[in-house]
Amino acid sequence: MSLLSVRSLSVRFPVLRSWWRARALFVHAVDDVSFELAAGETVGLVGESGCGKTTLGRAVVRLIEPTAGAIEFGGIDLASLRPGQLRPVRRRLQMIFQDPYGSLNPCLTVEQIIGEALDIHGLARTREALRARVGFLLDHVGLAPADARRYPREFSGGQRQRIGIARALAAEPQLIVCDEPVSALDVSVQAQIVNLLHDLQREHGLAYLFIAHDLALIEHLSRRILVMYLGRVVEAGDTKMICRTPAHPYTQALISAVPRLDPVANRRRIVLTGEVPSPITPPSGCGFHPRCPIAEPRCGREVPALREIASGRWAACHLAWGGNRMATTGGVV
């Protein structure tokens, strides 16, 4: 039984609705995405800027209204709920944001920031109870309970991200959507936050939808990943297998582009030509075909479906096979 089940989710934003154009244009930010997430599990969502990963993460929490599709969380379809009905469900569904500077209200003390979540969900009846709970949460994320009276500006980036995590934990969620939670932090501080998220998951049985552009980080944290390109999932499955033998040509290029510390790692680099096309006018057929090193004529005509190419591995590519064939045609590592 999965905790979260997303089916055929699409998010479109209207753009360029000008008077001489009869038809509005749309950005297809998320296009027909389906996946499942079990309780206590981490699913990694990886892709480059503009691929729709943040939009997908926000649509799951319904910070952005999905255009089509269903989001089932604990057996309830979130997409059909009215705002008032959404609140009790949101308690179990929290979010950690990328920017530790922009996501905390600078006029509120840490106690007010974390206490707000407790207030809204009626989790602290008295002022003393609230104070005790905030102190406990701060201690839990590695800050001092005395920090409750201070303001966000008095903290470093890493400490602020801890406050953001404490705020998400306050409502005792089952699932936290983490949108690039460490990419704005100093390199030497990132591991602290990653380890904290790891510990909290073990302690509370939290599930994470972990959004990042850093493949190595995703590989470290999640057992399963979704690779997105131009609003669609192009490859999904077991993290280790995908990182070792990626099946989709885009995943292959992505993995080969990651800079490595190991100078002797002798690998074939695949340098893609061109850039991610506009999601307003996506290419026909497979969205990746204009940049794909192995594209065939039919890739420009037919949209490849996400199909199971081997047990537990999905790829949206006409040419992808399970087993080792792809590893020899475009192998990496």
The binding site for other proteins (CB under 8 A) comprises: 48-49, 156-159, 186-192, 194-195, 198, 213-217, 219-220, 243-244, 253-264, 269, 271-276, 333
Q: In what helix (H) or strand (E) does residue 88 lie, and over which residues does it extend? A: helix 83-90
Question: Between vectors from CA 96 to CA 95 and to CA 98, what angle results, nearest 5°?
Answer: 130
Q: Considering only the C-alpha atoms of the chain, give the largest distance between any 2 of them, rounded to a whole number of Å.
A: 69
In this structure, which amino acid lies at residue 166?
A: A
Could you give the 3-state DSSP secondary structure of residue 228? Answer: strand
- Distance between CA atoms of residues 198 and 206, nearest Å: 9
In the bound state with other proteins, the residue whose beta carbon lies nearer, of 64 and 257, is 257
How many angstroms separate the first and last alpha carbons of the chain? 36
What are the DSSP calls for 25-80, one per residue? EEEEEEEEEEEEE-TT-EEEEE--TTSSHHHHHHHHTTSS--SEEEEEETTEEGGG
What are the residues whose beta carbons fall under 8 Å from the beta carbon of 215, sequence distance 6 or more? 46, 243, 254, 255, 258
- Distance between CA atoms of residues 32 and 49, nearest Å: 19
Closest approach, Cβ 188 to other proteins, in A, equals 4
Closest approach, Cβ 214 to other proteins, in A, equals 8
In the bound state with other proteins, the residue whose beta carbon lies nearer, of 220 and 301, is 220
Closest approach, Cβ 192 to other proteins, in A, equals 4
Closest approach, Cβ 65 to other proteins, in A, equals 27
In the bound state with other proteins, the residue whose beta carbon lies nearer, of 22 and 187, is 187
Closest approach, Cβ 267 to other proteins, in A, equals 10
In the bound state with other proteins, the residue whose beta carbon lies nearer, of 124 and 211, is 211
Closest approach, Cβ 263 to other proteins, in A, equals 4
- Distance between CA atoms of residues 77 and 198, nearest Å: 28
Could you give the 3-state DSSP secondary structure of residue 108? Answer: coil
Closest approach, Cβ 168 to other proteins, in A, equals 20
In the bound state with other proteins, the residue whose beta carbon lies nearer, of 17 and 244, is 244
> Helix 127-140 vs helix 110-120: angle between axes, to the nearest 10 degrees?
110
In the bound state with other proteins, the residue whose beta carbon lies nearer, of 84 and 263, is 263
In the bound state with other proteins, the residue whose beta carbon lies nearer, of 68 and 216, is 216
